[in-house]
């Protein structure tokens, strides 16, 4: 990258390097790319209708979700169907992802018993 590698170029499938690194579990590469200001543009990019945060939840990858949260990725970004990563995590029963995103999202009420959080989100699910 110091020699001019383009981190904003897409492959033949339309994926940015950070998506490929995240999908393949190359956390060192993801970390390096997250620290580059040029990569911020890809947080609004999509793979099969999903943002990078959605992909992390889909993979149920605790480390990747936390890396994205720490890198200031938007936990409320919506996919092509209007679902947030938190809603997707709740709907698919991914408890770890739900907890991580619940605490990353300042708009979700905090409770000791996470069932309350899930129950409050069920209203949002029923509106789908």
Please answer whether residues 125 and 88 qualify as being in contact, where contact means their C-beta atoms are separated by less than 8 angstroms. no
Find the domain containing 37 and state its range: 17-126
Q: 7 lies in a domain?
A: no
Q: Cα separation of 79 and 19, whole Å?
A: 15
Q: 12 lies in a domain?
A: no
CATH number at residue 50: 1.25.40.20
Average pLDDT over residues 53-81: 87
Q: 4 lies in a domain?
A: no
For the entire predicted model, the pTM comes to 0.68
- Letter string b/e over residues 41-73, b meaning 16 or more CB atoms within 10 A of that residue's CB: ebbebbbeebbbbbbbbbbebeebbebbbebeb
Q: 22 lies in a domain?
A: yes
What does the DSSP assignment read for 83-106? --HHHHHHHTT-HHHHHHHHHH-T
Instruction: Please tell me the total count of domains within the chain.
Output: 1
Q: 69 lies in a domain?
A: yes
Asked if residue 44 has pLDDT above 80, the reply is no
Quick: pLDDT tens for 7-35.
777 778 777 787 888 888 888 888 888 77
Quick: pLDDT tens for 72-111.
777 888 888 888 899 989 999 999 999 899 887 665 555 5
Q: 114 lies in a domain?
A: yes
């Amino acid at each position: 990258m110091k020699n001019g590698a383009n981190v904003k170029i897409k492959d033949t499938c339309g994926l940015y390097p950070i998506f490929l690194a995240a999908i393949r579990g190359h956390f060192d590469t993801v970390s390096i790319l997250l620290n580059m200001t040029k990569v911020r543009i890809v947080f609004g990019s999509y793979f099969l209708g999903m943002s990078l945060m959605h992909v992390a939840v889909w993979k149920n990858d605790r480390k990747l979700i936390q890396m994205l949260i720490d890198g200031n990725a938007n936990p409320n970004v919506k996919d092509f169907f209007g679902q947030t990563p938190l809603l997707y995590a709740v709907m698919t029963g991914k408890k770890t992802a739900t907890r991580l995103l619940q605490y990353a999202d300042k708009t979700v009420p905090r409770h000791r018993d996470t069932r309350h959080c899930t129950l409050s989100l069920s209203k949002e699910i029923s509106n789908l």
